[in-house]
Structure 1
Amino acid sequence: MRIFSLCTFSTLLGTLVTVLVLEPSLILGNTALAQNQRPPIAAPAVGSAGDFSPSWYDREGLTPDEAVNVAVYERCNRSVVNISTVSIRTDRFFLTEVPEEGS
């Protein structure tokens, strides 16, 4: 009976160490936090559709904010890059690498 108890304890301890090494987030929890946590911004009051007049737009059909954004992009478009978040997770059963996307 003593040998059976020691084998069972050894099996459980080995399982715990294996899970801790392969998937530490299962035991330790997720540690990723947002960099800037700000309170949500209140939505502006919704007006009627008749409030917008053509004087809000320039000759290209852009609002002043959009025109500024377009001007900044046109001036700095060589430095614009596509940012992609790809991570690799190890599959628990076959121990193969599985690519994932997202935040």
Structure 2
Amino acid sequence: MARKYYTETISDVVENLNTSIDTGLSGEEAKKRLAKYGPNSLVSKKKKSMFMRFVDQFKDFMIIAAILSGVVAHEWTDAAIIMIVVILNAVLGVIQEAVLKLRSMH
């Protein structure tokens, strides 16, 4: 179980972690930890292209409704309207994702 440092005194934490409040880790201790734990970095995920984000928007029940409306009921006007709404929704979804991603970067 992970240690709950927040329940300990500062001096106990400093001693347990073999560090200093004034100077931090010694160079030797930093090298040991780097060898033991690896670099302190995050693994970045491959970014999705704008096209793939657009395609992902079509994982929706409305696509099936449009196809069924056109093929089964021969309601081509309804099918076209549903597809237009789905495409507009996909475009707006991609734009919204891009805006949210930009906002999270600032």
Q: Please tell me the TM-score bracket, short chain as reference.
A: under 0.3
Q: Which protein is richer in strand relative to its size?
A: 1
The TM-score normalised by the length of structure 1 is: 0.27
The TM-score normalised by the length of structure 2 is: 0.27
